[in-house]
Amino acid sequence: MRVLSLLLVLFALAEAVSVNQRRRIVQSFNIRRSRSSDSTPLQVGNGNFAFGADVTGLQTFKPFAIMSTWGWHNFTLPTKPGQTSVQDYSEVLWWTHGRLVPYEMPNPDQNDISNWLRENPHRLNLANVGFTFGRPGVTEDDLQHKSQELDMWSGRLSSSFKYNGSKVQVETWADPESDTIAINVRSKLLKRGLGLFLDFPYPDNEKFNAPFVNHFNLTSRHTTALERLSHNSAHIKHTLGETTYYTHVAWSGKGTIIGPTEGTHRYSFTADQSDVQLIISLSPAPKRSTTSYRQIVSSSKAWWKSYWCSGAFIDLTAVRDPRARDLQQRIITSQYLTAINSASSYPPQESGLVNNGWHGKFHLEMTLWHTLPFARWGHFPLMWRSQPAMYLQFLPSAIARAQRQGYKGARWGKMTDPSGRSAPGEINALLIWQQPHPMYFAEIEYRSFPNATTLSRWDDILTATADFMASYAFFNESTRVYDLGPPMYPVSENTNPNATVNPTFELAYWRFGLDVAARWKTRQGKPVPQAWITVRDNLAPLPTVDGTYAVYEGIRDMWTDNATTNDHPAMAGIYGLLPPPASGKPLDLAALKKTAGKIKELWALDYSYGWDFAMLAMNSLRLGDPDQAVDYLLHPIFQFDDAGYPVGGSRVPTPYFPNSASLLIATAMMAGGWDGSEGKKGHWPRGWEEEVEVEGFVPAL
């Protein structure tokens, strides 16, 4: 099989989509705007740092964010006696198979510290940078001929407009290597009042900060200080409680930075020339930036060219079906936006570096969606920024969590931040589908790099994960099978946790995870722990109702209650995201088909969000219906805005990057097939195969 995959890759390489062809396609979807969006910026960035611009190329009228992987903040701890430190928090005991197990849930006797742990640390909007016009009250409507283009091939944002009869031209770039933006402004107005401002906000404890993050009018709660370093550089030190960071500004030619204006944290920069270049770098340390405008421009061009040329590619331009253009556009913009927002050294949050959801934290069940596309599209180094490093970093706290709860191995947390803590929450504590994710990552990495390095770097993680999974499964003396839950939340977080047992997706994923873990040991010539095999071979059967797969065992009114037929239709994941089982009974194809049909007919898809549509698309692919798969990927509820940002919809704010990521996972499967599937150029609607060009994909699991 593996030899065959390699041959397929080589075959595909022979038909390479040329650099020019790739460039033409990418640039044909360059983003153009003539006014600011109310909900999304245009961004330049590098995965760990991003700058969100309005129509001026800066943050003049819309306070979009500058966010990073490292910029976090804590409010002061509560002062209520007995709740003044993290150590004071006590987990909540829930009955679990006859014993009391402590869970990281909000403790009703300790509201203050429970809330603090959920809201802290939160991710910061580091600063705003925009134009000033020499007089107050200028609005976007006062600018004429506004036009901007984001060139995804080079990472250049070019913006221009006229103010008071004079043209202003702006180029905005991000450094691929550091948390730095480079700005070039050209205008005669620079000598007649046009300048720049820098301003610094203060956070709040709201769960969602969208479209804008933090506040510029809470000035007394934080401090800033300007230090001039040379005739053309300065830094501003920003201190918010325990958090301090520096905004280093350097400019070409003559310029002056002053401030802050009384009662604000707003600084002004003016240049005495009609062409100025600025380098603005953000850092937790007061280090001087050594890079130049020209260097950043050339690194950005080189990085993006290599990104677009080195990875896999899908060319749908010759396909006559009008759906192909929409799909191609979603693929290209999603590749640009996920590289900027999700290729970080910690897993990204759902809204990337655009704005904050869940206080800017990341969710370990979502990390598979966010990070897998890099691997599936041939960009392993971007996946390796966070994996497996994150699992290794959090392994000790995951082992401690399992121990406190009386399990073996490591239980991964859920809503998380760089400290590795899992935020208190009932769903957070009882969700389990994040547990087998390391097996998925490891197996995907192994098929591209089947060597000892891959085996050893994931071994401890997989062992601890499988040990937990085996010990979490509960042997039911009366049915003689291993049950999952209760209490637990399945993927669809809308069931009664005390009644939820043996959900279809989690059972299938447990089997998958234990299969991979066992194979991992065998590949290394090591013994496979018996407990893994015993649990795997005696897992409860996948629950069915009327010949369909059910959300969980014993669910009432499976297809007749609209409270059941909404949220994530995870049953489709057992044949969409997951491959058919490598052990045990094969899946029931008739039941899979009937389930897919019922979902299409009855599920509240207008209330669905995120990766639901891509998962349904992958299920359709394996069921042999690529036409339906494309329809799911273009479903009217699965929306992307004019700049390719995934629209949150009825449940979550915009953007919601699991949409973009899952679309890339599904289209990689269309292009590359999966183990055992036939089809040289992938799996496309009738009539597309001859017109599609694909390159560089390996089959999905």
- We find the least distance from the C-beta atom of residue 45 to ligand NAG, in angstroms, to be 21
Nearest CA-CA partner of 335 in 26, 697, 653, 554: 26
Closest CB to ligand NAG among 139 and 451? 451
Interface positions, 414-433, toward ligand NAG (CB under 6 A) = 419
Residues 221, 449, 541, 583: which binds ligand NAG (CB under 6 A)? Answer: 449
Q: Which of positions 481-540 make contact with ligand NAG (CB under 6 A)?
A: 487, 496, 498
Nearer to ligand NAG, 135 or 585 (CB): 135
From the list 665, 671, 664, 629, the residue with the least C-alpha distance to 644 is 664
**Nearest one of 582, 575, 570 to 619, comparing CA atoms:** 575
Look at phi and psi of residue 642 and say left if phi exceeds 0, alpha if psi is from -120 to 50, else beta.
alpha
Residues 603, 644 contacting (CB under 8 angstroms)? no
Closest approach, Cβ 379 to ligand NAG, in A, equals: 13
Interaction residues for ligand NAG, span 343-402 (CB under 6 A) = none
- Indicate the residue among 21 and 419 with the shorter CB distance to ligand NAG: 419
CB of 163 to ligand NAG, least distance (A): 7
* Interface positions, 595-614, toward ligand NAG (CB under 6 A): 604
Of 256-264, 287-295, 446-454, 514-522, the window that binds ligand NAG (rule: CB under 6 A) is 446-454
466 backbone φψ class: left, alpha, beta (φ>0; ψ -120 to 50)? alpha
By beta-carbon proximity to ligand NAG, the closer residue of 135 and 686 is: 135
- Closest CB to ligand NAG among 399 and 618? 399
- Tokens found for residue 330: 């979603």
**Strand residue runs (E) in 509-667:** 544-545, 548-549
Q: Kindly list the distances between the CA atom of residue 21 and the CA atoms of 27, 300, 313, 694, in Å, as whole numbers in the listed order.
A: 10, 20, 10, 12
For the bound state, the minimum distance from the C-beta of residue 39 to ligand NAG, rounded and expressed in Å, comes to 16
Q: In the range 82-111, which residues lie near ligand NAG by CB under 6 A?
A: 86, 94-95
**Would you give the DSSP letter of residue 148?**
E
Contact between 234 and 257 (Cβ < 8 Å): yes
**Window of 12-20, 449-457, 524-532, 627-635 that interacts with ligand NAG by CB under 6 A:** 449-457
Q: Which stretch binds ligand NAG (CB under 6 A): 48-56, 297-305, 445-453, 510-518?
A: 445-453
Minimum distance, C-beta of residue 155 to ligand NAG, in the bound complex (Å): 27
Residue that is written with structure tokens 């396609």 in the block? 25
Size of the site for ligand NAG (CB under 6 A): 29
Q: Give the separation between CA 627 and CA 684, rounded to whole angstroms.
A: 7
Minimum distance, C-beta of residue 546 to ligand NAG, in the bound complex (Å): 18
* Beta carbons of 94 and 101 less than 8 angstroms apart: yes
Q: Are 78 and 84 in contact (CB under 8 A)?
A: yes
Q: Looking at 135-232, which runs of residues are DSSP E strands? A: 144-151, 156-163, 166-174, 180-186, 195-199, 223-230
Q: What are 692's two structure tokens?
A: 């599609």
For residue 188, the 8-state DSSP code is: G
Please tell me the distance from the alpha carbon of residue 658 to that of residue 367, in angstroms, as a whole number. Answer: 9
Minimum CB separation from ligand NAG for residue 440, in Å? Answer: 19
Stretch that binds ligand NAG, among 34-42, 222-230, 403-411, 444-452 (CB under 6 A): 444-452
Closest separation in Å from C-beta 531 to ligand NAG: 19
The number of residues in the chain equals 701
- The helix (H) or strand (E) run that includes residue 24 is helix 19-28
| Residues in contact with ligand NAG, shown as a per-residue x/- string from 219 to 258 under the rule CB under 6 A | -----------------------xx---------------
Dihedral pair phi/psi, residue 268, rounded to 5°: -120, 140
Q: Which of 43, 120, 367, 495 binds ligand NAG (CB under 6 A)?
A: 120
User: CB 145 → ligand NAG: shortest distance, Å?
Assistant: 16
DSSP state of 1: -
Confirm or reject binding of residue 139 to ligand NAG (CB under 6 A). no
Alpha-carbon dihedral 427, 430, 431, 437, rounded to 10 degrees: 140
Q: What distance in Å separates the CA atoms of residue 523 and residue 544, rounded to the nearest whole number? A: 35
- Give the nearest distance from C-beta 502 to ligand NAG in angstroms: 8
Q: Please give the span between the terminal C-alpha atoms of the chain, in angstroms, as a whole number.
A: 12
Q: Which is nearer to ligand NAG, 192 or 228 (CB)?
A: 192
Please select the residue that binds ligand NAG; options are 192, 207, 294, 526, rule is CB under 6 A.
192
Task: Give the footprint of ligand NAG on residues 451-490 (CB under 6 A).
Answer: 451-453, 476, 478-479, 487
Q: Is the peptide bond before 636 cis (omega within 30 degrees of 0)?
A: no
Q: Which residue has the tokens 């003559």?
A: 254
Nearer to ligand NAG, 70 or 369 (CB): 70
Tell me the three state secondary structure of residue 3.
helix
Pick one of 215, 237, 519, 635: the residue that binds ligand NAG (CB under 6 A): 215
> What is the C-alpha R_g of the chain?
26
Provide the minimum distance between the beta carbon of 191 and ligand NAG in the complex, in angstroms, as a whole number. 10
Among 79, 87, 139, 217, binds ligand NAG (CB under 6 A): 217
In the bound state with ligand NAG, the residue whose beta carbon lies nearer, of 474 and 611, is 474
Assess contact for 544 and 558: CB atoms under 8 A. no
Nearest CA to 200 out of 164, 148, 238, 170 is that of 238
CB of 512 to ligand NAG, least distance (A): 22
Give the nearer residue to ligand NAG in terms of CB position, either 72 or 472: 72
Residues pairing with 184 in the sheet: 171, 277
Q: Residue 95 CB, nearest distance to ligand NAG (Å)?
A: 4
Select the residue interacting with ligand NAG from 5, 74, 268, 393 (CB under 6 A).
Answer: 74
Site for ligand NAG in 14-73 (CB under 6 A): 72-73
At closest approach, how far in Å is the CB of 452 from ligand NAG?
Answer: 4
Among 52, 121, 573, 699, binds ligand NAG (CB under 6 A): 121
Q: How far is the CB of 94 from ligand NAG (least distance, A)?
A: 4
| Euclidean distance between CA atoms 69 and 664, whole angstroms | 23
Least distance (Å) between residue 126 CB and ligand NAG: 13
Which distant-in-sequence residues (6+ apart) come within 8 Å of 328 by Cβ? Answer: 25, 29, 314, 315, 316, 317
CA-to-CA dists, residue 288 to 198, 248, 283, angstroms: 18, 7, 9
The CB-of-561 to ligand NAG minimum distance in angstroms stands at 8
CA atoms within 13 A on the CB side of 661: 31
Based on CB atoms, which residue is closest to ligand NAG, 361 or 681? 361
Q: Which is nearer to ligand NAG, 68 or 154 (CB)?
A: 68
**Which of 164, 169, 273, 471 forms a contact with ligand NAG (CB under 6 A)?**
164
DSSP readout, 334-351?
Answer: HHHHHHHHT--SSPPPTT
- Determine the Cα–Cα distance for residues 189 and 165; give it in Å rounded to an integer: 10
Q: Which is nearer to ligand NAG, 7 or 86 (CB)?
A: 86
Query: Site map for ligand NAG, 554-573, x if CB under 6 A?
Result: --------x---x-------
Best CA proximity match to 59, nearest among 121, 9, 132, 114 = 132
The residues binding ligand NAG (CB under 6 A) are: 72-74, 86, 94-95, 120-121, 135, 164, 192, 215, 217, 242-243, 419, 449, 451-453, 476, 478-479, 487, 496, 498, 562, 566, 604
